[in-house]
């Protein structure tokens, strides 16, 4: 294996791939990245066994094909430290790789490529294309509601659901739920997969808010997101996601419309005096106003009043203010619609501006 | 017969059972592989994992050629997970069990199956065992749990009852001697082979601690004929590793029982059997990673063994 590449071309994909490599490796070889040169293309692969990232770069100078694994962190440090615009040459000699740039020369130990546990391609069920921006939006709108280290392991990930002409993400930790849906005319089938938190985070790190298309493949065991420059593969959570439709409150007359920013600011203010441990806020619905109240163990109190028109019965319920703010930070500016469910007193929040809110949130009440 | 298993002829019948179970699609979700130390439970579990993860198995036999077989051989296989104490005798921590369960919740990285091997199961404390129970109740797909124990009686009953018990047999002393001879270990007394498998003796031979067995037996004879003081014997035992000392005592005591029976001294044999229980009890505690004051334990044990 032998190739030459300009520092800047190598740096970006290298940083991307090294980012996946975990510090706490279970196997020494996982501190390495798999470097492959084939058909004038360089590919770099890093994995923590849960996700795998491949970065690809076309080589303009004639290269000799080959494959080996190289210590990731050291390689990145070397590439960062050589002068800008430098040409970096790699030569594999026996089981060591020689890196030359200008007057610098480095010799790194390698480990054989055959020992590297990269992902095997999963039998695929569905593949579709979507813009990076749209996919990023779907994840951004819902990722904060993913459970963390829950024994109901299927909640520690995000549901990605294909159904007729739409793509949907759902996340819930049992106290709140976030759901986002976009139209995607090319989809006809129904499929659900659960992407673990780690995979969601890596995608958020990778995807940019632009219109470039990525190919998404939902395999039996993995999800794969691919562009011409990169491939990100993540394991899935083995399990069935709970039926989220059951969580959605039924339409009712217990409904108010609020300006998002007014509501957000009022909540932020009362939150100052909410209990630091429970972050509770009491919401009181009445005919002409929504009153927000908070108090803490030191008997300090805060109250906010928002003018609304409300036709339902008067009621007071406690909510976690952090959950409400998470939702309001995700909803678009303008009015939001807040519907109080009939049975369990959970609230549904969505944008009142868009005819059909593409993001929808449910927050369960708490006992104060 | 795969090259790994054919190296251990006494495992052949159990391997045949395994092949049958896989072929008939009747392999249990969780199996508890138990048997005396040195019978090769670990190598058997690894061979099972290799067969289950192989890309092109033939009659539940790993091909030894594919990438999966290679990764398993070098302990790099992402779909085989070993849950074991980070330090010998230190117990399996609850955090380690949680990591393993998080791993179980995810799909395999290669496309076949996941195999979780837990050894030794005695080192799983109750909290950790209970965390594991949940997965035994609601198994994830394509997953096999292989739990390894020397003394299944020490394993939490609720855990044990959810596993199929597979006994790894002890080869006859003659079989063990033949096998050890192929490994270049001779001068092994038959009595040593009634309470431990040949792999343990091979390991002790390789570690150079086999001579200790002779030493323990000589000292025990001296102790029983009151030619060696209790405290001196205790000190000598303390200089060995706990497991070597306990194994040595157990093997030696077993021999005394055999001798007593051969000379028709039933009462003495009975008494030796009761004393053997005291050794076994201490061994169980050591196996479970109990934090003991060993000098005190040795003195107490020798008091019980005193003629
Ligand atoms: Zn194979």
Give, for A2, the enclosing helix (H) or strand (E): strand A2-6
Domain boundary among A52, A85, A115: A115
Nearest Cα residue in chain B from A240? B140
- Do A170 and A144 touch, CB atoms closer than 8 A? no
Interface contact flag, A237 B106, Cβ < 8 Å: yes
Q: Which residue of chain A has the CA closest to B141?
A: A238
Element at B20 (helix H, strand E):
helix B12-23
Closest CA to A365 of A311, A304, A305, A285: A285
Same domain, A197 and A292: no
pLDDT of A355: 57
Q: Say what the pLDDT of residue B1 is.
A: 38
A132 lies in the same domain as A109: no
Four-point Cα dihedral B6, B12, B16, B18, nearest 10:
-80
* φ, ψ (nearest 5 deg) of residue B289: 75, 25
Question: Among positive and negative, which fits the CA dihedral A360, A362, A363, A365?
Answer: positive
**Which of A246, A277, A305 represents a domain boundary (last residue)?**
A246
Q: Does domain B5-167 have CATH number 3.40.50.960?
A: no
pLDDT of residue B2: 45
Give me the pLDDT at residue A357, please: 55
The 10s digit of each residue's pLDDT in A152-180 is 999 999 999 999 999 999 999 999 999 99
Q: What is the pLDDT of residue A350?
A: 93
Specify if A65 maps to a domain: yes
User: By residue range, what is the domain housing residue A184?
Assistant: 124-246
Q: Which residue do the tokens 């996941």 mark?
A: B114
What is the reported pLDDT for B267? 87
Cα-to-centroid distance, B75 and ligand 1 (Å):
14
Question: pLDDT tens-digit profile of A195-210?
Answer: 999 999 999 999 999 9
Higher-confidence position of B69 and A355: B69
Query: Are the CB atoms for B209 and B215 separated by under 8 Å?
Result: no
Q: What are the residues facing A51 on neighbouring strands?
A: A234
User: Does the residue A17 lie in any domain?
Assistant: yes
Look at B243 and A68; give whichever has higher pLDDT: A68
State both tokens at A280: 């509770």
**Is residue A95 in a domain?**
yes
Separation between Cα atoms, residue A137 and residue A201, nearest integer Å: 13
SS3 state at B10: helix
**The CATH number of the domain where A268 resides is what?**
3.10.150.10
Quick check: is A368 in a domain?
no
* B60: three-class secondary structure by DSSP: coil
Tell me, what's the pLDDT at B259?
83
A133 and A238 housed in the same domain? yes
Yes or no, beta carbons of B107 and A236 under 8 Å apart: yes
Give the residue from A95, A115, A135 where a domain finishes. Answer: A115
Q: What is the pTM of this model?
A: 0.86
For chain A, give the percent of residues with pLDDT over 90. 86
Return the closest-CA partner of residue B210 out of B170, B240, B178, B176.
B240
Check whether residue A200 and residue A172 sit in a common domain.
yes
- Between the CA of residue A76 and those of A15, A16, A31, A32, A99, what are the distances in Å? 7, 10, 12, 11, 12
Minimal Cβ distance to B111: which of A116, A221, A238? A221
Question: Residue B39: what are its φ and ψ, rounded to 5°?
Answer: -95, 0
Which of B74, B98, B109 lies at the smallest CB-CB distance from A235?
Answer: B109
pLDDT in tens, A212-241: 999 999 998 999 999 999 999 999 999 899
pLDDT at position A356: 57
CB atoms within 10 A of CB B58: 10
Contact across the interface for B101 and A235, Cβ inside 8 Å: no
Is A148 within a domain? yes
User: Which chain A residues touch B if contact means CB-CB below 8 Å?
Assistant: 27, 29, 49-50, 114-117, 119-120, 122-123, 149, 151, 153-154, 156, 196, 220-222, 235-239
Residue A23 has pLDDT above 80, yes or no: no
Residues 6+ apart with CB under 8 A from A12: A55
pLDDT tens-place string over residues A242-296: 999 999 888 788 999 999 999 999 999 999 999 988 899 999 999 999 999 999 9
Does the beta-carbon distance from A153 to B102 stay under 8 Å? yes
Which residue ranges in chain B fall short of pLDDT 70?
Answer: 1-4, 89
- The answer to whether position A282 is within a domain reads yes
């Amino acid at each position: 294996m032998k190739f030459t590449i300009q520092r800047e071309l190598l740096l970006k994909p290298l940083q991307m791939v090294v980012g996946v490599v975990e510090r706490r490796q279970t196997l020494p070889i996982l501190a390495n990245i798999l470097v492959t040169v084939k058909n004038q293309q360089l590919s770099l692969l890093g994995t923590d066994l849960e996700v795998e990232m491949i970065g690809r770069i076309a080589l303009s100078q004639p290269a000799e094909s080959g494959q080996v694994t190289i210590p990731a962190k050291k390689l990145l440090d070397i590439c960062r430290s050589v002068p800008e615009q430098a040409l970096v040459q790699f030569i594999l000699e026996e089981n060591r790789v020689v890196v030359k740039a200008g007057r610098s020369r480095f010799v790194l130990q390698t480990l054989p490529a055959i020992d590297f546990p990269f992902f095997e391609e999963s039998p695929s069920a569905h593949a579709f294309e979507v813009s990076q921006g749209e996919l990023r939006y779907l994840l951004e709108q819902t990722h904060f509601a993913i459970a963390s280290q829950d024994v109901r392991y299927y909640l520690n990930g995000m549901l990605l659901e294909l159904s007729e002409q739409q793509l949907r993400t759902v996340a819930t930790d049992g106290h709140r739920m976030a759901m986002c849906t976009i139209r995607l005319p090319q989809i006809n089938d129904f499929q659900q997969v659960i992407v673990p938190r780690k995979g969601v985070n890596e995608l958020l790190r990778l995807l940019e808010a632009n219109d470039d298309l990525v190919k998404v493949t939902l395999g039996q065991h993995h999800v794969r997101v691919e562009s011409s420059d990169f491939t990100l593969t993540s394991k899935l959570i083995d399990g069935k996601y709970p039926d989220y439709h059951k969580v959605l409150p039924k339409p009712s007359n217990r409904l108010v419309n609020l300006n998002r920013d007014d509501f957000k600011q009022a909540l932020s203010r009362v939150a100052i005096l909410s209990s630091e441990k429970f972050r509770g806020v009491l919401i009181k619905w009445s005919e002409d106003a929504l009153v927000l109240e908070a108090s803490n163990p030191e008997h300090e109190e805060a109250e906010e009043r928002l003018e609304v028109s409300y036709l339902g019965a008067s009621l007071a319920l406690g909510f976690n203010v952090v959950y409400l703010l998470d939702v309001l930070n995700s909803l678009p500016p303008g009015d939001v619609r807040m519907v109080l469910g009939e049975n369990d007193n959970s609230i549904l929040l969505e944008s009142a501006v868009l005819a059909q809110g593409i993001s929808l949130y449910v927050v369960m009440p708490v006992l104060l | 017969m795969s090259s790994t298993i054919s190296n251990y002829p006494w495992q052949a019948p159990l391997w045949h059972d395994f092949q049958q179970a896989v072929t008939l699609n009747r392999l249990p979700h969780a199996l508890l592989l138990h048997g005396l130390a040195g019978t090769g439970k670990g190598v058997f579990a690894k061979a099972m994992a290799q067969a289950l993860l192989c890309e092109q198995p033939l009659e539940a036999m790993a091909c030894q050629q594919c990438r999966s077989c290679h990764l398993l051989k070098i302990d790099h296989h992402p779909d085989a997970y070993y849950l074991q104490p980070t330090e010998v005798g230190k117990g399996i921590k609850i955090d380690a069990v949680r990591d393993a369960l998080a791993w179980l919740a995810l799909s395999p990285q290669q496309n076949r199956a996941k195999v979780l091997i837990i050894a030794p199961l005695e080192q799983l404390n109750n909290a950790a065992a209970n965390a594991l129970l949940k997965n035994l109740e609601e198994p994830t797909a394509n997953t096999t749990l292989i739990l390894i124990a020397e003394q299944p009686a020490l394993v939490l009953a609720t855990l044990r009852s959810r596993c199929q018990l597979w006994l790894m047999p002890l080869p006859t002393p003659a079989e063990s001697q033949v096998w050890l001879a192929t490994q270049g270990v001779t001068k092994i007394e038959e009595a040593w082979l009634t309470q431990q498998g040949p792999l343990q003796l091979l390991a002790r031979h390789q570690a150079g601690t086999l001579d200790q067995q002779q030493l323990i037996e000589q000292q025990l004879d001296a102790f029983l004929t009151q030619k060696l003081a209790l405290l001196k014997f205790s000190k000598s035992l303390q200089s060995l590793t706990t497991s070597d000392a306990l194994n040595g005592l157990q093997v030696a005591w077993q021999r005394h029982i055999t001798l007593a029976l051969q000379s028709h001294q039933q009462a003495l044999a009975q008494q030796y059997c009761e004393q053997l229980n005291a050794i076994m009890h201490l061994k169980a505690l050591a196996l479970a990673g109990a934090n003991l004051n060993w000098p005190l334990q040795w003195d107490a044990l020798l008091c019980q063994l005193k003629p």
